[in-house]
Structure 1
Amino acid sequence: MTPSARLSAAIELVAAVDAAPRKPADAVANDFFRDRRYIGSGDRRAVSERAWAVLRGRRRLAWWLERVGARVNPRLLVAASLILDGWTLSGVAQSFSGGRFGPTPLNPDEQAQLAELEGHTLEHPKMPQAVKLEVPDWILPLLRARFGHELNAEMAAMALPAPLDLRVNLLKATLPEVQAALAGEGIEAVPTALSPWGLRVEGRRPVSTGKAFRDGLVEIQDEGSQILAALVGAAPDMRVVDFCAGAGGKTLALAMVMANRGHIVACDVSAPRLDAAVKRLRRAGIHNVERHLVAPGDKWAKRRAGGFDRVLVDAPCTGTGTWRRNPDARLRLVEQDLRELVPKQAGILEQASRLVRKGGRLVYATCSVLQEENEAQVQAFLSAHPEFSIVPLADAWALPGQAPCSGPFLALTPRRHGTDAFFGAVLERAT
């Protein structure tokens, strides 16, 4: 593809994301490139990088365009991102030349508006803080309450692209063996800082098409998610429930920790998500997992009350901790989402708690940074359930080295720990 054709494709991809406001951008991009198999890997990377630059700077780019009286649309968002990245107007105009497969030429109004952006960067001192931080206005007070004076630094870290983290499947290979296998595929991977099963790959690499992945030696899983799985404290021969299992990422890690022994029940309300776990379990060589579809009026949990040593509740949440991977999710999130999620989380936690045996543990987790979904949720549950008490993180920590957080809960952030932001609380039921 020519540079102009790449820009045209980036404009189309941003428009496709805009046209699917409730669909994650990475899923939109997968469909976009699947329908355009003629776009090679190098071109795909260039198109994605430009589109993601727009998504990561969407509020600031829109602020600039509105400031100069321009329309906010995919075409001008891409053009503005180039100007504010240091391109000259003449360079942009040359790329928007109307040539074969390229964007149509800039009209006189567009040229005049973009000319006002020349010499500027994406930041401007007059921008409101929510615009600078690329977050909705309504969530800014909640983020301030969570991070205080560290808010700007935390959000800056969350604005950076995330690395690719892998979890080594110890049921099939050791970490050095997997490192060597990946190196043989031309992929350099280094051990993660906190997870003893983790490997980190910088940039976007086609790991899922390689032999190591196909043979089940590795799974794609953020280091923070690996740590949450470890926090469950599962061991061989235990009975464990992954209550909101989804496609089974943490289920796979639990099965590995349990050496493929004991019994795991992966529960979810979505049949497609549970079905997606089957292939992953088979590839990993796991056979101690039972799947259960949770349906309205389901008596399954009632019949198995008090029957499990560990219950993990990775609750549905705002996903604010994954914004570095899903920058588009920032502006898709609305206040109503949080209002609906908080009681939903409380209901799930209530239901899952009944499965925990006396002396067993309930682990509540989210990929959110908001106190309303995390600490406040746990405190409300404990107020209603005095039979449960907090196991301090230092006591629940079972990985090498000291626990990465000083408080009673796990609270990972990209800035402090280099992972996605995760929250985890370990609660023990009195004997």
Structure 2
Amino acid sequence: MRLPGRLAAAIEVLADVKQRKRPVSEALKSWGLNNRFAGAGDRAAIGNLVYDALRRRASHAFAMGSDSPRALVLGVAMRDWGETPAALDAAFAEDNHAPAALSPEEAAGATADLGGASPVVQSDFPDWLAPSLQRAFGADWVAEGQAMAGRPSLDLRANALKAAPEKVMKSLARFSPQPAAIAPFGVTMPAGPRDARTPNVTTDEGYLKGWFEVQDQGSQIVAALAGAREGDQVLDLCAGAGGKTLALAATMGNKGQIFAYDSDRSRLAPIYDRLKRNGVRNAQVRAPHPGALDDLVGKLDRVVVDAPCTGTGTWRRRPDTKWKLTPELLAQRQAEQAALLVEAARYLKSGGTLVYITCSILPEENDDQVAAFLASTPGFSSVDITSAWRQALITEIPPGLATPGGGICLTPHRTGTDGFYCHLLRKA
């Protein structure tokens, strides 16, 4: 497929998403199944167009004068991918599968100035979140939004139980990997432009042998901040597919014990194969059933709560969720987080550490939750995050990461990672 056909396909997929209100990943998969002539490169390019359109939906709609699927995709082609109106018109005229020719108004969108747009449009954030984001980031909130609207890198964590980062990079040399900027076992491959394909590293020999896992550098950092040590007794209370369980096991050198639990059996299902492939021997999976964790009450050194949240920190990877978030969903997540913090506290022994993590950048899910927990739960206090960072990551904490409430907030703008929050609480 040439560019005109790819643009037409992206418009079709976005229209499907809008009409049927289903996830972008499902719409792209459905299009691929119905158009088997499209090769891997075509599918990658169409996916890039669709995701780029959603990442900058507000600013592209302002520039193009419309938020229709056609306007957004053409906006990506001209404003992000560097195509000129003249080049598109010429290409469209020669391709039977091309969209209709550009109108004068659409052509003008290629060079439209966003200077007259509101800060919310320039940041590509939902407008109702502006007060929250201003509170979180102050004068930097627009820059934070613009960074969140970019493409994410592909990050890997070298599994210290089996391989060093150098071994992983040698195995993946054909993809030009680089050491991560902060995470000590991190390896990264920056996102490419236009129709660049994301490397399929899960077919690599190193992955199949358990040398590395796909994990955003931000996730690696907050897992390291948990401070798990050899011999510790640790509960991963919201283990999901086990990404942080694997990272904790590597940090602990397979010594001590990790109890991996999740209330959703389907989320927990992939963990068994991952533990085996990674060579993890100190993790015990606890399937959800009444009383599954009763024997752990008051006995653990650390409890990690990777809490369910709005996922605002992952908007680069899942931009469709940015525009679906509602105040009602935020309130629901806040209630779940508050209950999990109370639940987690039960399992700690005296002197134990509660590690509260979200992949959110909203203070309502982060500092506010911790402040409410501390106000209602005697005997807990915040651990100095600067000292914890220095001990876990053997570097000084970058400026601006510490939050007013005593946690840290990672973002694409500040750290080049997904958005993550982490706060450490010690039981007296």
How far the C-alpha of 1:299 sits from its partner, in A, is 2.4
Per-residue deviation, residues 323-353 of structure 1 (Å, max 9, x unmatched)? 2222222111111111111111000111111
1:120, distance to aligned residue in structure 2 (A): 2.2
Change (3 A) 1:276 1:35: farther
- The letter of the residue matching 1:78 is V
The answer to whether 1:14 aligns with 2:14 is yes
Change (3 A) 1:202 1:64: closer
Question: Partners in 1 of 2:33 and 2:162 — Cα distance?
Answer: 32
Q: Within 1, Cα distance between the matches of 2:157 and 2:147?
A: 23
State the shift of 1:104 in Å. 4.9
Aligned to 2:55: 56
5 Å matches for 1:40-55? Answer: 40-55=39-54
Distance 1:41 1:154, change over 3 A: same
The aligned counterpart of 2:150 is 160
2:409 aligned partner = 411
3-state SS of paired residue (2:7): helix
Q: Does 1:251 align with 2:245?
A: yes
3-state SS of the aligned residue for 1:361?
strand
TM-score (norm 1): 0.89
2:332 is the counterpart of 1:340: yes
TM-score, normalised with respect to structure 2? 0.89
Match of 1:142 in 2: 132
Match of 2:224, as an amino acid? A
Return closer, same or farther for 1:356/1:81 CA change in 2, 3 Å cut-off.
same
1:96, distance to aligned residue in structure 2 (A): 4.3
2:5 counterpart residue number: 5
Mapped pair 1:314 → 2:309: no
Gaps of 5+ in 2: 192-197
Instruction: Determine helix, strand or coil for the equivalent of 1:245.
Output: coil
Residue in 1 that maps onto 2:100:
105
- Note closer, same or farther for the CA distance 1:343–1:98 as it changes in structure 2 (3 Å cut): farther
Could you tell me which of 98, 111, 116 is aligned with 1:120? 111
**Per-residue displacement from partner, 1:87-113 (whole Å, max 9, x unpaired)?**
44454344445955x14534xxx7354
- How far does the alpha carbon of each residue in 1:367-390 deviate from its partner, in whole angstroms, 9 at most, with x for none? 111111111110111111121111
Cα distance in 1, alignment partners of residues 188 and 78 from structure 2: 33
Distance between the aligned counterparts of 1:27 and 1:393, measured in 2? 40
Aligned to 1:401: 395
| Superposed displacement of residue 260, structure 1 | 1.8
Does 2:209 align with 1:215? yes
3-state SS of paired residue (1:282) = helix
Counterpart-to-counterpart distance in 2, 1:17 and 1:270: 27
1:140-195 superposed Cα distances (whole Å, 9 cap, x missing partner)? 11101111111122222222211111000111112212221111xx1221111211
- Out of 71, 74, 92, the position equivalent to 1:76 is 71
Residue 37 of structure 1 deviates from its aligned partner by: 5.0
1:371 matched to 2:329: no
Give the whole-Å Cα distance in 1 for the aligned partners of 2:350 and 2:53. Answer: 51
Q: Is the 8 A contact 2:75 2:110 kept in 1?
A: no
CA distance in 2, matches of 1:311, 1:366: 14
Identity %: 39
CA distance, structure 2, for counterparts of residue 247 and residue 20 of structure 1: 28
Tell me what 1:272 maps to: 266
Aligned equivalents of 1:164, 1:280: Cα separation in 2: 19
Q: Which amino acid aligns with 2:51?
A: W
- Report if the CA contact (8 A) 2:149-2:315 is conserved: yes
- 1:282-318 Cα distance to aligned partner (Å, 9 max, x none): 21122322222335xx323344211211100011111
Q: What is the Cα deviation at residue 9 of structure 1?
A: 2.2
Q: Is the 8 A contact 2:4 2:99 kept in 1?
A: no
Question: RMSD over aligned Cα, in angstroms?
Answer: 2.3
Q: How many residues align?
A: 415
- 8 Å CA contact 1:83–1:114 kept in 2: the answer is no
Q: Does the Cα contact within 8 Å between 1:22 and 1:332 map onto a contact in 2?
A: no
